[in-house]
Structure 1
Amino acid sequence: MSCPHVSGLAALLKSVHPQWSPAAIRSALMTTAYKSYKDGKQIIDIATVTPSTPLGHGAGHVSPTMATNPGLIYDLTAVDYLDFLCAMDYTASDIEILSRRNYTCDPSKTYSVADLNYPSFAVYVDVAGEYKYTRTVTSVGGAGTYSVKVTSETTTVKILVEPRF
Protein backbone atom coordinates (compact mmCIF):
# COMPACT_ATOMS: atom_id res chain seq x y z
CA MET A 1 0.00 0.00 0.00
CA SER A 2 2.97 2.33 0.35
CA CYS A 3 3.46 2.72 -3.42
CA PRO A 4 0.22 4.65 -4.12
CA HIS A 5 0.68 6.75 -0.99
CA VAL A 6 4.28 7.68 -1.79
CA SER A 7 3.38 8.27 -5.44
CA GLY A 8 0.72 10.73 -4.29
CA LEU A 9 3.22 12.45 -2.01
CA ALA A 10 5.68 12.67 -4.91
CA ALA A 11 2.99 14.39 -7.00
CA LEU A 12 2.33 16.84 -4.16
CA LEU A 13 6.05 17.59 -3.86
CA LYS A 14 6.24 18.16 -7.61
CA SER A 15 3.44 20.74 -7.30
CA VAL A 16 5.39 22.55 -4.56
CA HIS A 17 8.73 22.24 -6.39
CA PRO A 18 7.97 21.94 -10.12
CA GLN A 19 11.66 22.33 -11.04
CA TRP A 20 12.75 19.28 -9.01
CA SER A 21 13.73 16.12 -10.86
CA PRO A 22 12.21 12.74 -9.92
CA ALA A 23 15.52 11.91 -8.20
CA ALA A 24 15.34 15.13 -6.13
CA ILE A 25 11.80 14.24 -5.04
CA ARG A 26 12.83 10.70 -4.11
CA SER A 27 15.79 12.09 -2.20
CA ALA A 28 13.61 14.53 -0.26
CA LEU A 29 11.21 11.73 0.70
CA MET A 30 14.00 9.35 1.71
CA THR A 31 16.24 11.73 3.64
CA THR A 32 13.45 13.23 5.71
CA ALA A 33 11.81 9.89 6.60
CA TYR A 34 11.82 8.87 10.24
CA LYS A 35 12.79 5.56 11.81
CA SER A 36 11.36 6.10 15.28
CA TYR A 37 8.12 7.55 16.52
CA LYS A 38 7.72 10.84 18.38
CA ASP A 39 7.84 8.92 21.67
CA GLY A 40 11.34 7.67 20.69
CA LYS A 41 10.28 4.06 20.12
CA GLN A 42 11.60 2.37 16.98
CA ILE A 43 9.34 1.24 14.15
CA ILE A 44 8.37 -2.37 14.79
CA ASP A 45 8.60 -5.10 12.15
CA ILE A 46 5.13 -6.60 12.23
CA ALA A 47 6.41 -10.03 11.11
CA THR A 48 8.96 -10.41 13.90
CA VAL A 49 7.53 -7.96 16.45
CA THR A 50 11.06 -6.60 16.92
CA PRO A 51 12.56 -3.25 15.95
CA SER A 52 12.73 -3.08 12.17
CA THR A 53 15.92 -2.63 10.20
CA PRO A 54 16.63 -0.61 7.05
CA LEU A 55 16.20 -3.85 5.09
CA GLY A 56 12.65 -4.00 6.46
CA HIS A 57 11.55 -0.39 6.56
CA GLY A 58 13.75 1.12 3.86
CA ALA A 59 14.33 4.82 4.50
CA GLY A 60 11.54 4.80 7.09
CA HIS A 61 8.14 6.47 7.28
CA VAL A 62 7.82 9.40 4.91
CA SER A 63 7.23 12.84 6.38
CA PRO A 64 5.45 14.98 3.76
CA THR A 65 5.93 18.18 5.74
CA MET A 66 9.66 17.64 6.19
CA ALA A 67 10.09 16.56 2.56
CA THR A 68 8.90 19.95 1.28
CA ASN A 69 12.06 21.50 2.74
CA PRO A 70 14.76 18.82 3.02
CA GLY A 71 17.67 21.28 2.95
CA LEU A 72 19.94 19.01 0.90
CA ILE A 73 19.10 16.58 -1.89
CA TYR A 74 20.88 13.88 -3.85
CA ASP A 75 20.06 14.62 -7.48
CA LEU A 76 20.58 12.59 -10.65
CA THR A 77 20.36 13.14 -14.39
CA ALA A 78 19.38 10.76 -17.17
CA VAL A 79 23.08 10.28 -18.01
CA ASP A 80 23.72 9.15 -14.42
CA TYR A 81 21.16 6.37 -14.90
CA LEU A 82 22.65 5.44 -18.28
CA ASP A 83 26.10 5.21 -16.69
CA PHE A 84 24.56 2.97 -14.02
CA LEU A 85 23.36 0.65 -16.80
CA CYS A 86 26.91 0.65 -18.19
CA ALA A 87 28.14 -0.41 -14.74
CA MET A 88 25.61 -3.25 -14.84
CA ASP A 89 27.16 -4.40 -18.17
CA TYR A 90 24.10 -3.63 -20.27
CA THR A 91 24.79 -3.64 -23.99
CA ALA A 92 24.21 -0.62 -26.21
CA SER A 93 21.10 -2.30 -27.64
CA ASP A 94 19.76 -3.06 -24.14
CA ILE A 95 20.29 0.56 -23.13
CA GLU A 96 18.57 1.78 -26.30
CA ILE A 97 15.53 -0.41 -25.57
CA LEU A 98 15.29 0.94 -22.01
CA SER A 99 16.07 4.59 -22.69
CA ARG A 100 14.71 4.93 -26.23
CA ARG A 101 17.91 6.69 -27.25
CA ASN A 102 21.34 5.80 -28.54
CA TYR A 103 23.91 5.65 -25.79
CA THR A 104 27.26 3.93 -25.93
CA CYS A 105 29.25 3.23 -22.82
CA ASP A 106 32.69 4.83 -22.97
CA PRO A 107 35.20 1.94 -23.10
CA SER A 108 37.90 4.13 -21.54
CA LYS A 109 35.77 4.84 -18.47
CA THR A 110 35.45 2.61 -15.42
CA TYR A 111 31.81 2.38 -14.34
CA SER A 112 30.66 1.32 -10.89
CA VAL A 113 27.16 0.81 -9.53
CA ALA A 114 28.43 2.51 -6.35
CA ASP A 115 28.78 5.79 -8.27
CA LEU A 116 25.02 6.35 -8.54
CA ASN A 117 24.25 9.46 -6.44
CA TYR A 118 21.59 7.64 -4.44
CA PRO A 119 20.68 8.72 -0.88
CA SER A 120 21.53 5.33 0.62
CA PHE A 121 23.81 2.41 -0.05
CA ALA A 122 24.97 -0.86 1.42
CA VAL A 123 28.53 -2.10 1.43
CA TYR A 124 29.30 -5.77 1.02
CA VAL A 125 32.61 -6.37 2.79
CA ASP A 126 34.16 -9.62 1.68
CA VAL A 127 37.79 -8.79 2.38
CA ALA A 128 39.51 -6.33 4.66
CA GLY A 129 40.15 -3.10 2.90
CA GLU A 130 38.94 0.37 2.17
CA TYR A 131 35.71 1.09 0.34
CA LYS A 132 35.04 4.57 -0.95
CA TYR A 133 31.62 5.88 -1.84
CA THR A 134 31.12 9.42 -3.07
CA ARG A 135 27.85 11.30 -2.91
CA THR A 136 27.07 14.87 -3.93
CA VAL A 137 24.40 16.90 -2.19
CA THR A 138 22.71 20.03 -3.51
CA SER A 139 21.31 22.71 -1.25
CA VAL A 140 17.65 23.45 -1.93
CA GLY A 141 16.93 25.23 1.33
CA GLY A 142 19.09 28.32 1.17
CA ALA A 143 21.90 29.14 3.55
CA GLY A 144 22.32 26.86 6.52
CA THR A 145 24.66 24.69 8.52
CA TYR A 146 25.68 21.25 7.32
CA SER A 147 26.74 18.63 9.83
CA VAL A 148 27.14 14.88 9.59
CA LYS A 149 26.15 12.10 11.95
CA VAL A 150 26.81 8.56 10.76
CA THR A 151 26.79 5.57 13.07
CA SER A 152 27.71 1.93 12.74
CA GLU A 153 26.34 -0.94 14.79
CA THR A 154 29.76 -2.58 14.78
CA THR A 155 33.18 -1.35 15.81
CA THR A 156 34.86 -3.33 13.01
CA VAL A 157 33.56 -0.82 10.46
CA LYS A 158 34.96 2.67 10.60
CA ILE A 159 33.13 5.41 8.74
CA LEU A 160 34.58 8.72 7.64
CA VAL A 161 32.56 11.50 6.01
CA GLU A 162 34.30 14.43 4.33
CA PRO A 163 33.69 17.27 4.80
CA ARG A 164 32.36 16.83 8.32
CA PHE A 165 30.89 20.35 8.30
Structure 2
Amino acid sequence: MAAFTEAQSPSLLPSDVRRTKYAFMSGTSMACPTAAGVAALLKAIHPHWSPAAIRSALMTTATRLSNTNRPILDGTSSFEGTPFTYGAGLIRPNLAADPGLVYDLSLRDYEMFLCAIGYNQTIMKTFTNNYKCPLVKPDILNFNYPSITVPPLSTGSSVTVNRVLKNVGSPGTYVAQIHQPLGVLVSVKPNNLQFTKIGEERKFELTLTSTRNATSPPHDVYTFGDLIWSDGRHKVRSPITVHTTAASNDIPKQLNLGTIINL
Protein backbone atom coordinates (compact mmCIF):
# COMPACT_ATOMS: atom_id res chain seq x y z
CA MET A 1 0.00 0.00 0.00
CA ALA A 2 1.42 3.37 -1.02
CA ALA A 3 0.35 6.93 -1.76
CA PHE A 4 -0.84 7.22 -5.35
CA THR A 5 -1.31 10.13 -7.72
CA GLU A 6 -4.87 11.12 -8.55
CA ALA A 7 -3.66 12.20 -11.98
CA GLN A 8 -3.95 8.59 -13.17
CA SER A 9 -6.13 5.57 -12.48
CA PRO A 10 -4.81 2.68 -10.34
CA SER A 11 -4.65 0.44 -13.42
CA LEU A 12 -3.15 3.21 -15.61
CA LEU A 13 -5.65 2.23 -18.32
CA PRO A 14 -7.29 5.07 -20.31
CA SER A 15 -10.71 3.45 -19.81
CA ASP A 16 -10.33 3.38 -16.01
CA VAL A 17 -11.93 6.50 -14.51
CA ARG A 18 -11.21 5.61 -10.87
CA ARG A 19 -9.07 7.94 -8.76
CA THR A 20 -7.60 7.03 -5.38
CA LYS A 21 -5.13 8.52 -2.92
CA TYR A 22 -3.68 5.09 -2.08
CA ALA A 23 -3.13 1.87 -4.01
CA PHE A 24 -1.42 -1.49 -3.74
CA MET A 25 1.81 -1.30 -5.70
CA SER A 26 4.51 -3.81 -6.50
CA GLY A 27 8.02 -2.83 -5.46
CA THR A 28 7.25 -0.73 -2.40
CA SER A 29 8.18 -3.61 -0.07
CA MET A 30 11.73 -3.42 -1.43
CA ALA A 31 11.93 0.33 -2.03
CA CYS A 32 10.83 1.39 1.48
CA PRO A 33 13.46 -0.56 3.47
CA THR A 34 16.15 0.47 0.99
CA ALA A 35 15.29 4.16 1.40
CA ALA A 36 15.02 3.71 5.18
CA GLY A 37 18.45 2.08 5.27
CA VAL A 38 20.04 4.95 3.36
CA ALA A 39 18.25 7.43 5.65
CA ALA A 40 19.74 5.63 8.67
CA LEU A 41 23.22 5.92 7.16
CA LEU A 42 22.72 9.66 6.59
CA LYS A 43 21.55 10.07 10.20
CA ALA A 44 24.72 8.32 11.38
CA ILE A 45 26.87 10.69 9.31
CA HIS A 46 24.82 13.78 10.21
CA PRO A 47 23.24 13.13 13.63
CA HIS A 48 21.86 16.66 13.87
CA TRP A 49 19.94 16.52 10.59
CA SER A 50 16.15 16.50 10.86
CA PRO A 51 14.00 13.90 9.04
CA ALA A 52 13.06 16.66 6.57
CA ALA A 53 16.71 17.44 5.86
CA ILE A 54 17.45 13.75 5.25
CA ARG A 55 14.47 13.45 2.90
CA SER A 56 15.59 16.57 1.05
CA ALA A 57 19.12 15.22 0.62
CA LEU A 58 17.77 11.95 -0.79
CA MET A 59 15.41 13.69 -3.21
CA THR A 60 17.54 16.57 -4.48
CA THR A 61 20.53 14.36 -5.30
CA ALA A 62 18.50 11.58 -6.97
CA THR A 63 18.87 10.85 -10.68
CA ARG A 64 16.30 10.41 -13.44
CA LEU A 65 18.63 7.98 -15.23
CA SER A 66 18.62 4.21 -14.79
CA ASN A 67 21.66 1.96 -14.40
CA THR A 68 21.88 1.93 -18.22
CA ASN A 69 22.43 5.71 -18.12
CA ARG A 70 19.14 6.23 -19.94
CA PRO A 71 15.91 7.86 -18.72
CA ILE A 72 13.93 5.72 -16.27
CA LEU A 73 11.02 3.99 -18.00
CA ASP A 74 7.49 3.61 -16.71
CA GLY A 75 7.27 0.19 -15.08
CA THR A 76 3.97 -0.56 -16.81
CA SER A 77 5.06 0.46 -20.31
CA SER A 78 8.08 1.15 -22.47
CA PHE A 79 7.52 4.90 -22.31
CA GLU A 80 9.77 7.33 -20.49
CA GLY A 81 8.66 7.77 -16.90
CA THR A 82 7.63 10.96 -15.11
CA PRO A 83 7.73 12.13 -11.47
CA PHE A 84 4.34 10.40 -11.15
CA THR A 85 6.09 7.06 -11.69
CA TYR A 86 9.59 7.50 -10.22
CA GLY A 87 9.20 10.45 -7.84
CA ALA A 88 12.48 12.36 -7.57
CA GLY A 89 14.42 9.47 -9.13
CA LEU A 90 16.89 6.82 -8.01
CA ILE A 91 18.70 7.40 -4.71
CA ARG A 92 22.43 8.14 -4.85
CA PRO A 93 23.67 7.67 -1.24
CA ASN A 94 27.15 9.13 -1.70
CA LEU A 95 25.78 12.36 -3.13
CA ALA A 96 23.02 12.48 -0.52
CA ALA A 97 25.69 12.52 2.20
CA ASP A 98 26.91 15.87 0.81
CA PRO A 99 23.90 17.60 -0.81
CA GLY A 100 25.17 21.14 -0.30
CA LEU A 101 21.73 22.56 0.51
CA VAL A 102 18.55 21.12 2.01
CA TYR A 103 14.90 22.08 2.27
CA ASP A 104 14.41 21.78 6.03
CA LEU A 105 11.23 21.97 8.12
CA SER A 106 10.58 23.27 11.62
CA LEU A 107 7.76 22.43 14.03
CA ARG A 108 6.02 25.64 12.94
CA ASP A 109 6.14 24.49 9.30
CA TYR A 110 4.27 21.30 10.21
CA GLU A 111 1.72 23.28 12.22
CA MET A 112 1.14 25.61 9.29
CA PHE A 113 0.74 22.58 7.01
CA LEU A 114 -2.01 21.16 9.22
CA CYS A 115 -3.76 24.53 9.17
CA ALA A 116 -3.43 24.64 5.37
CA ILE A 117 -5.19 21.29 4.94
CA GLY A 118 -8.07 22.41 7.13
CA TYR A 119 -7.40 21.13 10.65
CA ASN A 120 -9.49 23.08 13.17
CA GLN A 121 -8.40 24.20 16.63
CA THR A 122 -9.90 21.14 18.31
CA ILE A 123 -7.76 18.82 16.22
CA MET A 124 -4.73 21.07 16.53
CA LYS A 125 -4.87 20.71 20.33
CA THR A 126 -4.02 17.05 19.81
CA PHE A 127 -0.59 18.18 18.67
CA THR A 128 -0.05 21.43 20.54
CA ASN A 129 -1.93 23.39 23.19
CA ASN A 130 -0.40 26.74 22.37
CA TYR A 131 -0.51 27.11 18.60
CA LYS A 132 -3.50 28.66 16.86
CA CYS A 133 -3.97 28.70 13.11
CA PRO A 134 -3.65 32.18 11.58
CA LEU A 135 -6.82 33.99 10.54
CA VAL A 136 -5.67 33.84 6.92
CA LYS A 137 -5.35 30.20 5.86
CA PRO A 138 -1.73 29.33 4.94
CA ASP A 139 -1.03 28.46 1.32
CA ILE A 140 -0.09 24.79 1.07
CA LEU A 141 2.00 25.58 -2.03
CA ASN A 142 4.52 27.26 0.29
CA PHE A 143 5.16 24.13 2.37
CA ASN A 144 8.96 23.81 2.23
CA TYR A 145 9.02 20.52 0.33
CA PRO A 146 11.92 19.55 -2.01
CA SER A 147 9.58 19.24 -5.01
CA ILE A 148 7.22 21.83 -6.49
CA THR A 149 3.71 20.89 -7.60
CA VAL A 150 1.19 23.38 -8.95
CA PRO A 151 -2.54 22.55 -9.22
CA PRO A 152 -4.64 23.47 -12.29
CA LEU A 153 -3.07 26.56 -13.87
CA SER A 154 -5.34 28.06 -16.50
CA THR A 155 -4.17 29.82 -19.64
CA GLY A 156 -2.44 33.12 -18.87
CA SER A 157 -2.60 32.73 -15.09
CA SER A 158 0.35 32.71 -12.69
CA VAL A 159 1.19 31.31 -9.29
CA THR A 160 4.12 32.05 -6.99
CA VAL A 161 5.56 29.56 -4.50
CA ASN A 162 8.09 30.27 -1.77
CA ARG A 163 10.92 28.05 -0.55
CA VAL A 164 13.80 28.23 1.93
CA LEU A 165 17.18 26.53 1.44
CA LYS A 166 19.61 25.78 4.27
CA ASN A 167 23.34 25.41 3.76
CA VAL A 168 24.76 22.14 5.12
CA GLY A 169 28.06 22.29 3.25
CA SER A 170 30.90 24.66 2.48
CA PRO A 171 30.35 28.37 1.74
CA GLY A 172 29.46 29.19 -1.83
CA THR A 173 27.18 30.87 -4.33
CA TYR A 174 24.42 28.82 -5.91
CA VAL A 175 22.97 29.80 -9.28
CA ALA A 176 19.51 28.72 -10.43
CA GLN A 177 19.03 26.64 -13.57
CA ILE A 178 15.50 26.04 -14.83
CA HIS A 179 14.22 23.35 -17.19
CA GLN A 180 10.80 24.78 -17.94
CA PRO A 181 7.75 22.51 -18.18
CA LEU A 182 6.19 22.62 -21.65
CA GLY A 183 3.79 25.55 -21.93
CA VAL A 184 4.92 27.14 -18.66
CA LEU A 185 7.17 30.15 -18.14
CA VAL A 186 9.19 29.82 -14.92
CA SER A 187 11.19 32.56 -13.20
CA VAL A 188 13.08 32.50 -9.92
CA LYS A 189 13.89 35.47 -7.69
CA PRO A 190 16.64 35.89 -6.72
CA ASN A 191 18.43 33.68 -9.24
CA ASN A 192 21.54 33.27 -7.08
CA LEU A 193 21.94 32.52 -3.38
CA GLN A 194 25.11 33.16 -1.39
CA PHE A 195 25.96 31.18 1.75
CA THR A 196 28.85 31.97 4.09
CA LYS A 197 28.36 29.39 6.84
CA ILE A 198 26.66 26.11 7.76
CA GLY A 199 23.07 26.51 8.90
CA GLU A 200 22.55 29.76 7.01
CA GLU A 201 19.18 30.01 5.25
CA ARG A 202 18.12 31.86 2.12
CA LYS A 203 14.62 32.39 0.72
CA PHE A 204 13.56 32.43 -2.92
CA GLU A 205 10.32 32.55 -4.86
CA LEU A 206 9.36 30.73 -8.02
CA THR A 207 6.72 32.19 -10.35
CA LEU A 208 5.04 29.92 -12.89
CA THR A 209 2.90 31.31 -15.72
CA SER A 210 0.89 29.21 -18.17
CA THR A 211 1.65 30.20 -21.76
CA ARG A 212 -0.67 27.65 -23.35
CA ASN A 213 -3.56 28.93 -25.44
CA ALA A 214 -6.58 27.66 -27.34
CA THR A 215 -4.44 26.93 -30.42
CA SER A 216 -1.88 24.74 -28.65
CA PRO A 217 -3.61 21.47 -27.69
CA PRO A 218 -3.77 19.34 -25.67
CA HIS A 219 -5.44 21.74 -23.26
CA ASP A 220 -5.47 19.65 -20.07
CA VAL A 221 -1.99 18.28 -19.40
CA TYR A 222 0.57 17.57 -16.72
CA THR A 223 3.98 18.87 -17.70
CA PHE A 224 7.27 18.46 -15.90
CA GLY A 225 10.50 20.35 -15.44
CA ASP A 226 13.27 20.97 -12.91
CA LEU A 227 14.78 23.67 -10.75
CA ILE A 228 18.48 23.10 -10.07
CA TRP A 229 20.63 25.15 -7.70
CA SER A 230 24.34 24.62 -8.37
CA ASP A 231 27.58 26.02 -6.98
CA GLY A 232 29.64 24.14 -9.56
CA ARG A 233 30.13 21.17 -7.24
CA HIS A 234 26.68 20.38 -5.88
CA LYS A 235 23.42 20.12 -7.82
CA VAL A 236 20.26 20.55 -5.76
CA ARG A 237 17.44 19.42 -8.07
CA SER A 238 13.73 19.87 -7.41
CA PRO A 239 11.15 18.31 -9.76
CA ILE A 240 8.45 20.70 -11.01
CA THR A 241 4.99 19.39 -11.88
CA VAL A 242 2.34 21.68 -13.37
CA HIS A 243 -1.24 20.87 -14.34
CA THR A 244 -2.10 23.30 -17.14
CA THR A 245 -5.65 23.83 -18.35
CA ALA A 246 -7.52 26.07 -20.77
CA ALA A 247 -10.76 27.93 -20.17
CA SER A 248 -13.65 25.49 -20.62
CA ASN A 249 -15.11 27.45 -23.52
CA ASP A 250 -11.78 27.24 -25.37
CA ILE A 251 -11.48 23.43 -25.25
CA PRO A 252 -12.61 21.58 -28.40
CA LYS A 253 -15.12 18.87 -27.49
CA GLN A 254 -13.23 16.11 -29.31
CA LEU A 255 -10.09 16.41 -27.14
CA ASN A 256 -9.19 13.67 -24.66
CA LEU A 257 -8.20 15.42 -21.45
CA GLY A 258 -5.58 14.52 -18.88
CA THR A 259 -2.59 13.99 -21.16
CA ILE A 260 0.85 13.70 -19.55
CA ILE A 261 3.79 15.43 -21.22
CA ASN A 262 7.39 14.95 -20.11
CA LEU A 263 10.45 17.02 -20.95
Map of 1:161 onto structure 2: 188
Q: Partner amino acid for 1:144?
A: G
What are the ranges of 5 or more consecutive residues in structure 2 without an aligned counterpart?
1-29, 193-263
Output the aligned Cα RMSD: 1.5
Higher mean alpha-carbon deviation, 82-91 vs 143-152, is at 143-152
Identity percentage of aligned residues: 40
Question: Displacement, 1:40?
Answer: 3.8
Higher relative contact order (Cα pairs below 8 Å, separated by 6+ residues): 1
Structure number with bigger Rg: 2
Distance 2:119 2:86 in 1: 30
Map of 1:133 onto structure 2: 161
Map of 1:112 onto structure 2: 139
Q: Partner amino acid for 1:125?
A: P
Distance 2:69 2:121 in 1: 49
Higher mean alpha-carbon deviation, 110-119 vs 62-71, is at 110-119
Higher-helix-fraction structure: 1
Question: Displacement, 1:50?
Answer: 1.3
1:28 aligns with 2:57: yes
Shift in alpha-carbon separation, 1:39–1:148, aligned structure 2, 3 A: farther
Shift in alpha-carbon separation, 1:89–1:119, aligned structure 2, 3 A: same
What are the ranges of 5 or more consecutive residues in structure 1 without an aligned counterpart?
none
1:144 aligns with 2:172: yes
After the TM superposition, which residues 89-108 of structure 1 pair with which residues of structure 2 at under 5 Å, given as runs?
89-97=118-126, 99=127, 101-102=128-129, 103-107=131-135
Distance 2:67 2:32 in 1: 24
Question: Displacement, 1:39?
Answer: 5.2
**3-state SS, counterpart of residue 148 of structure 1:** strand
1:3 aligns with 2:32: yes
Distance 2:46 2:81 in 1: 32
Map of 1:13 onto structure 2: 42
Question: Displacement, 1:44?
Answer: 1.2
TM-score, with length taken from structure 1: 0.90
Map of 1:82 onto structure 2: 111
Map of 1:69 onto structure 2: 98
Distance 1:29 1:96 in 2: 32
Distance 1:148 1:40 in 2: 24
TM-score, with length taken from structure 2: 0.58
Write out the 4+ residue segments of structure 1 that deviate beyond 4 Å after TM superposition. Answer: none
Distance 2:35 2:41 in 1: 10
Distance 2:151 2:102 in 1: 25
Distance 2:162 2:68 in 1: 34
Distance 2:35 2:189 in 1: 31
